[in-house]
Chains A and B, each alone.
Chain A
C-alpha cells in the first residue's frame, strides 16, 4: 500500500469548515482513498472513501485532486464532537485472499474550539 502524509495536528473553531489535507504522491491507479476517524478511547470509524471523483455523504465531503496525488477531507461545520484523529488511508482493490487490510499512519489530530 502506498504511503500517505498528513499534518500532525490542526485546530478549528466550532461551526466553521475544516479542510484536512492528505498527500499521497505514490498512489496507484487502483488505490481507493479512505478516511477514518478515531474519537478518544474508541475504535476508528469509517468516514468516507473515493477513487477519482469528489464524494459527499452525511458526515463529510472528499475532494480528490485531478492527478490524485492529494485529497482533502472537508467537514462543513465542525462541532465539538468532531474532535478526533483523522486517518487518510490508501487501499488497493481486493482479491479474495488479501483480506482488505488497512495500513494506518499517524493521522491528524483535530481539535475544535468552542
Chain B
C-alpha cells in the first residue's frame, strides 16, 4: 500500500531563516506531487505541483520554491521566511494518470510552521 510522509510535524523558525520541508511517498511510482498550505481557518491554497522529476509548476508567486530531486521526493524551501509564512503545510500525491481521466489525491499529515 502507498504511504506519504512529511517532516517535521511541527517547526518554529525565526523570521529571515531558511526553510526546508520534505515529503516522500512510498509504494507507488511516478506520482503527481503537490504542496498546499492552509492558514488559520479553512481553505487550502495550492502552492506547487509536479508531474515528474525536475518538473515544477508554481501556482502562487511568493518567497517559496519547490524541488523534486527524486521520483517520490518533494521539497518545499525558502531562503528567508516571513511572518506571513506561518501556516499548516500539506503535501499530497495522486497516481499518474493517462489523458482524460480523474483521480484521487492523498494527503500527508502536514507540517505546522510558526515563524516568530
Chain A: residues with CB nearer than 8 A to chain B? 32, 34, 36, 38, 41-46, 49, 85, 91, 93-97, 99-107, 109
Contacts and interface: CB of A to CB of B under 8 A. Distances in A.
Contacts of A41: 110
A49 B59 CA distance: 24
B112 to A, nearest CB: 8
A32 B49 contact: no
Helix, strand, loop or mixed for chain A's interface? loop
A36 B94 CA distance: 14
Interface in B56-78: 57, 59
B99 A99 contact: no
Interface string B90-105: 1010100111111111
Contact of B34 (A97, A101, A106): A101
Contact of A107 (B42, B49, B94, B99): B42
Given A104-B43, A106-B43, A97 B51 contact: yes
22 contacts: A32-B102, A34-B104, A43-B92, A43-B108, A43-B109, A43-B110, A44-B105, A46-B104, A46-B106, A49-B102, A91-B102, A93-B101, A94-B97, A95-B99, A96-B98, A100-B32, A100-B49, A100-B102, A101-B34, A106-B42, A107-B43, A109-B42
B7 interface: no
